[in-house]
Chain A
Amino acid sequence: MRAWALRVWFGAGMAFLLAPILVVVATSFSAGSVVAFPPPGWSLRWWAAAVGRTDFLVSLGLTLLLGVAVTAAGLALGVPAALAIVRGRFPGRRLLGVAALSPLFVPNVVLGFAALPIVAALGLLGSLWAVGAVYVVLVFPVIVRSLVGTLAALDPGVEDAARVFGASPARAFASVTLPRVARGMAAAAIFAFVVVLDEAVVIAFIGGTGTVTFPQRLFASIAENYDPVASVFATGMVVATAVLMLVLDRLAGFDRLE
């Protein structure tokens, strides 16, 4: 392909990727009373209206809380698991590596339905704890995959050197290895957090009626009618994502994103 044709193709492709996001941002500043693109005029009326929308705000708060809790639990389980996968010298280590990533190969629709009978049998339909537990299954492989890469790239010799000078294994890990994987861990945490912010499928099965997360609220408001306030909150999410991306760049560098 000629260079200019490649350029045009690339430009068109990027426009395809970015257009929907610009549309969401534009409709949030619409002056019209229904969502339309292009908007009939510009105003901040929907941003003003958004402040009073407790349904969206409660869902947003719930999702952020869920995101933090699930990410923390995912790290608490994922960090030791990744260490065992990279450094373990026990039979079944390879199998563990495959098993830990296996939830990635089951689509969310199937996992959501598969969790339904068990969650229902325990009487936990709609419980935040049940949703959180299933979400940990979703983020665990994401965290492990990201950390295994980070840990495998480390030179084990440095930690050995600390051991030679008398540090205990735990001390050598904490003072030598941990600082060097901190960025990788933070990046893994952000990926996990985004998974929770994004999730609208599993929750459709086990969320019951009481627990409405932010993606679900957005989904419902779009599926039923075009609520212009949805554009405002969606724009907020776009801005929040951009901020997270900048943080991620600082932590890991975009070059290392998969």
Chain B
Amino acid sequence: MNGRVFGGSPVFAAASLPVLLLFGACVAWLLVLSVFHPSVYSVYVAGLTGENYARVFTSRIYQTALLRSVRLALVSTAVTLAVGYPMAFHICRGAGRMRKVWIALVAAVLMVTFVVKIYAWQLLLERSGAVDVALRALRLTNGPTRLIGTETGVLTGLVYASLPYTILVLVGGIEKIPQTLEHAAACTGAGPGRVFWTVTAPLSMPAVVTAGLFAFALSVAAFVVPALLGAGQVPMAGLVIQRVSVGLGTAGGDWPLAAALSAVLLAASALFSLLLTAAFARRRWRLA
């Protein structure tokens, strides 16, 4: 191997084979399983059937879980972007020397073990937890409120999970916009609002799309958040896949059904990515 540069030879590419083979085998077998017959005795029986997909789309339980996942993911993505964009903008344009500190702090929050953070939300959202107390003090609620086990509670967790990612992605995008463009607009008479809406906002759209994709993907397949903050009352697709595959009580798991659910979930994420990228690809929202 005396290639021109070190690492240029295809031999190095072979290092990715074990990972890609294992990954490919898992996903391929998942898709195959989804058209097999379920079986009480041997988990699955080879064959070709659409009944698993039919059950996913006709059964109330699975339909509700999938639709709720998509709906909560859409709402949490929108909320995360709405909360995160002004924060990222402040970090880039208004924070001055504190910029680095804030980025570090957001990154630190992101790196703290996820279960730990959701654990804290469980304490905060409990009946007579800090959020309940605050809501009552502000007279927003009358009696004690338990947000655990409600969609609002789950939504809080989903937004919390994707907010640090979103802020970091948006900061990266806004940083790339040359401030000279904003100065040029201001020099030629545009007010701050006009500068933002005609220069900064359109040029940061690619980052908004990336952040939106991240947030949606994290939320639609969420597992820890609905498990801990949903308290069994707010089943989402991820939780249902786990329950169906492991089985409840003495009943064994239904792998073909869980596989069909997984395939539909994957398809939903892929569809969202395609739609969002297609919607923004036609606009000339890029630096020339």
Q: List chain A positions with a Cβ less than 8 A from chain B.
A: 1, 3, 6-7, 9-10, 13-14, 16-21, 23-24, 27, 35-38, 76-81, 83-90, 92-93, 96, 99-100, 102-103, 105-118, 133-134, 136-137, 140, 144, 156, 159, 168-170, 172-173, 177, 194, 197-198, 200-201, 204-205, 215, 218-219, 222-223, 226, 230, 234, 237-238, 241-242, 244-245, 249, 254-255, 257-258
Q: Which residue of A lies closest to B265 (CB)?
A: A110
* Contact yes or no, B27 A114, CB < 8 A: yes
* Contact yes or no, B217 A107, CB < 8 A: yes
Known: A7-B94, A113-B259. A106 touches B27 (CB 8 A): yes
A117 to B32, CA, bound (A): 11
Nearest CB of chain B from residue A158's CB, rounded to whole Å: 12
A242 to B117, CA, bound (A): 14
Residues on B with beta carbons closer than 8 Å to the beta carbon of A255: 100, 103
* Contact yes or no, A27 B123, CB < 8 A: yes
Nearest CB of chain B from residue A213's CB, rounded to whole Å: 11
* Contact yes or no, B7 A83, CB < 8 A: yes
* Contact yes or no, A169 B115, CB < 8 A: no
12 further interface pairs, Cβ-Cβ under 8 Å (given A10-B94, A77-B15, A106-B27):
A14-B105, A23-B120, A24-B116, A37-B129, A76-B15, A87-B8, A88-B7, A88-B10, A92-B13, A109-B221, A111-B23, A114-B262
Q: List chain B positions with a Cβ less than 8 A from chain A.
A: 2-10, 12-16, 18-20, 22-23, 25-27, 29-30, 33, 83-84, 86-87, 89-91, 94, 100, 102-109, 111-117, 119-124, 129-130, 160, 163-164, 168-169, 172, 217, 220-221, 223-224, 227-228, 237-238, 241-242, 245-246, 255, 258-259, 262, 265-266, 269-270
Q: Which residue of B lies closest to A156 (CB)?
A: B5
Chain A contact surface mostly: helix
Q: Which residue of A lies closest to B227 (CB)?
A: A223
7 examples of A-B residue contacts, CB within 8 angstroms: A21-B117, A37-B124, A37-B129, A84-B8, A103-B19, A136-B22, A222-B115
* Contact yes or no, B94 A6, CB < 8 A: yes
* Contact yes or no, A257 B30, CB < 8 A: no
Known: A27-B123, A133-B22. A13 touches B87 (CB 8 A): yes
Closest 10 CB pairs of A and B: A83-B7, A107-B221, A20-B120, A173-B6, A80-B15, A84-B13, A84-B12, A114-B26, A109-B238, A81-B16
Nearest CB of chain A from residue B82's CB, rounded to whole Å: 10
* Contact yes or no, B262 A113, CB < 8 A: yes
* Contact yes or no, A109 B112, CB < 8 A: no
Nearest CB of chain A from residue B227's CB, rounded to whole Å: 7
